């Protein structure tokens, strides 16, 4: 079992002095660097409106795969948290295993739920078998991050709109500056950016329960990845370190989740111009993009109605109104809630246009596929291993690699 860590010792202690019979709940979430500040801000308001609920946060999940694996282990050990924030593409697995509890009864008891601002399209991301199992907490799309000063020094006057233009910009940055040209977070959770390469061509990565890359679009996605790796001299670092290089003014172009916008804004060194822009397409503008992010799920094994109600109150607070607005204020994620966005649209996005890019891409949102069956997490790793083979130069024939990858992955998926 993971060690329990209070989000803010001072805050929890202050709450304890004012409540004699507090209800205790435990919560788990991923990506400490991204969401710690978000939950600190949320808890300041939640504690005021719910002084009878004490929230203890579990040690943060490293990433979304770790979040799911941890909860699967905790289900066996009967040590589940009351609320777990899980990747949108991993919800179905927890529903199938009976770990996530449906929220329909709680929603039905809320007289103002429909006016609380939940987009039906967002709720659909967490609906399985006609029942709602999660409330989306943060939603992201992949976007482009640029150091405009580096691009200008390289003679790139127009922000790239396609990957061919990105790669051409790489060549100019390498030739005319001493800066790093690019980082594309190819190994981000859930093969998200490979799925983006497929969706941008209008093709789903999973079709009829199988890997849908044995087609020209699949080959083009892999050839694009190869060109990004080989022609841009990309360093072999993790996304967080690349974001630090961007913030330090050393990286020209960065392609990943809008979640990094808040970090770059807070960490930016120097007076260089930081801009975001829509994600590049392969042949023209993307036709669709996978929805990233996570949702709040009720995973409690408690039989105490007070504990379950407290968990629901926390889920509802974090995903609506001021709670959801905190997501945008502290990260670059889009709050999946109309009320939260209305609170922000008139003033916040006008002052923070870099965070508006993902909002403008919401019409492109499409499914972030989870690979079906018991081997779903293993499939994620298999595909990542193939991408790594391209990155390090062990694979050069993309058609051969594609066919081998499709065969290996489909052998792991349910027949």
Average pLDDT estimate for 208-224: 97
User: Is the pLDDT score of 250 beyond 50?
Assistant: yes
Q: What is the pLDDT of residue 10?
A: 41
**What is the count of structural domains for the chain?**
2
Other beta carbons within 10 Å of 232: 22
Between 189 and 2, the more confident residue is 189
Range of the domain at 390: 142-290+371-412
Mean pLDDT of 77-81: 97
| SS3 annotation, the chain | CCCEECCCHHHHHHHHHHCCCCEEEEEECECHHHHHHHHHHHHHHHHHHCCCEEEEEECCECCHHHHHHHHHHHHHHCCCCCEEEEEHHHHHHHHHCCCCECCHHHHHCCCCHHHHCECHHHHHCCEECCEECEEEEEEECEEEEEEHHHHHHCCCCCCCCEHHHHHHHHHHHHHHCCCEEEEECCCCHHHHHHHHHHHCCCCCCEECCEECCCCHHHHHHHHHHHHHHHHCCCCCCCHHHHHHHHHCCCEEEEEEECCHHHHHHHHCCCCCCEEEECCCECCCCCCCEECEEEEEEECCCCCCHHHHHHHHHHHHHHHCHHHHHHHHHHCCCECCEHHHHHHHHCCHHHHCHHHHHHHHCHHHEECCCCCCCCCHHHHHHHHHHHHHHHHHCCCCCHHHHHHHHHHHHHHHCCC
What's residue 116's pLDDT?
Answer: 63
Same domain (yes/no): 262, 285: yes
Please work out, in degrees rounded to the nearest 5, the angle formed at the alpha carbon of residue 121 by the alpha carbons of 119 and 124. 110
pLDDT for residue 360 is more than 80: yes
- The DSSP bridge partners found for residue 211 are 206
- Say whether both 176 and 279 belong to one domain: yes
pLDDT score at 36: 95
Q: Which whole number is the average pLDDT over 272-295?
A: 95
228 Cβ partners below 8 Å, 6+ apart?
163, 166, 167, 182, 184, 186, 234
Name the phi and psi angles at 211, rounded to 5: -70, 120
- Neighbouring residues of 306: CB distance < 8 A, sequence distance ≥ 6: 23
Q: Is the pLDDT of residue 327 over 50?
A: yes
Residue 357 shares a structural domain with residue 375:
no
What per-residue confidence (pLDDT) applies to 114?
66
pLDDT computed for residue 115 by the predictor: 53
Choose the weakest-confidence range: 21-35, 70-84, 117-131: 117-131
Instruction: Verify that 8 and 75 share a domain, yes or no.
Output: yes
Is residue 15's pLDDT more than 60? Answer: no
- Calculate mean pLDDT across residues 62-84: 96
Q: Are residues 154 and 135 in the same domain?
A: no
Q: What is the mean pLDDT of residues 111-128?
A: 77
Instruction: Flag whether pLDDT at 16 surpasses 50.
Output: no
pLDDT higher than threshold 90 for residue 128: yes
CATH code for position 233? 3.40.190.10
Instruction: Give the model's pLDDT for residue 237.
Output: 94
Mean pLDDT, the chain, integer: 91
Question: Are residues 281 and 390 both part of a single domain?
Answer: yes
Contact 310, 25 (CB under 8 A): yes
Looking at the structure, tell me whether residues 405 and 381 fall in a common domain. Answer: yes
Residues 241 and 385 in one domain: yes
Same structural domain, 37 and 107: yes
Looking at the fold, whether 257 and 309 belong to one and the same domain comes out as no
Residue 4 pLDDT > 80: no
Percent of the chain past pLDDT 90, that is, above it, reads: 75
Does residue 187 share a domain with residue 63?
Answer: no
Q: Which residue has the higher pLDDT, 143 or 344?
A: 143
Whether 203 shows a pLDDT value over 90: the answer reads yes
Measured N-to-C along each axis, helices 239-247 and 260-267 cross at an angle, to the nearest 10 degrees, of: 40
For residues 74 and 24, membership in a common domain is answered with yes
């Amino acid at each position: 079992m993971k060690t329990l860590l209070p989000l803010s010792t001072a805050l929890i202690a202050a709450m304890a002095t004012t409540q004699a019979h507090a209800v205790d709940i435990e919560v788990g979430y991923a990506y400490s660097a991204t969401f710690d500040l978000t939950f600190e801000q949320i808890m300041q308001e939640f504690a005021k409106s719910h002084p009878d609920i004490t929230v203890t946060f579990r040690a943060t999940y490293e990433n979304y795969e770790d979040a799911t694996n941890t909860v699967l282990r905790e289900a066996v050990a009967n040590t589940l948290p009351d609320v777990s924030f899980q990747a949108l593409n991993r919800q179905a697995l927890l529903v199938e295993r009976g770990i996530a509890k449906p929220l329909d009864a709680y929603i039905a008891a809320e007289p103002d739920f429909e006016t609380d601002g939940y987009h039906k399209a967002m709720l659909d991301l967490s609906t399985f078998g006609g029942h709602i199992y999660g409330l989306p907490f943060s939603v992201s799309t992949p976007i482009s991050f640029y150091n405009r000063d580096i691009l200008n020094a390289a003679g790139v006057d127009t922000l790239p709109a396609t990957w061919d233009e990105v790669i051409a910009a790489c060549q100019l940055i390498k030739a005319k500056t001493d800066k790093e040209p690019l980082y594309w977070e190819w190994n981000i959770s859930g093969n998200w950016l490979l799925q983006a390469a497929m969706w941008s061509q209008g093709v789903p990565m999973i079709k009829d329960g199988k890997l849908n890359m044995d087609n020209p679009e699949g080959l083009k996605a892999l050839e694009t990845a190869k060109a990004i790796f080989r022609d841009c001299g990309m360093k072999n670092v993790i996304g967080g370190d690349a974001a630090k290089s961007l913030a330090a003014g050393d990286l020209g172009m960065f392609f990943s989740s809008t979640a990094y916008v808040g970090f770059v804004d807070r960490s930016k060194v120097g007076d260089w111009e930081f801009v975001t822009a829509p994600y590049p397409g392969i042949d023209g503008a993307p036709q669709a993009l996978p929805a990233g992010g996570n949702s709040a799920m009720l995973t409690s094994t408690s039989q105490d109605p007070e504990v379950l109600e407290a968990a629901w109150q926390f889920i509802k607070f974090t995903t609506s109104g001021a709670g959801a607005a905190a997501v945008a204020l502290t990260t670059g994620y889009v709050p999946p809630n109309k009320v939260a966005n209305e609170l922000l649209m008139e003033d916040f996005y006008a002052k923070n246009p870099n965070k508006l890019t993902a909002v403008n891409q919401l019409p492109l949102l499409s499914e972030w596929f989870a690979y079906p069956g018991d081997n779903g997490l293993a499939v994620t790793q298999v595909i990542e291993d193939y991408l790594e083979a391209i990155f390090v130069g062990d694979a050069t024939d993309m058609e051969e690699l594609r066919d081998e990858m499709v065969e290996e992955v489909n052998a792991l998926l349910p027949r």
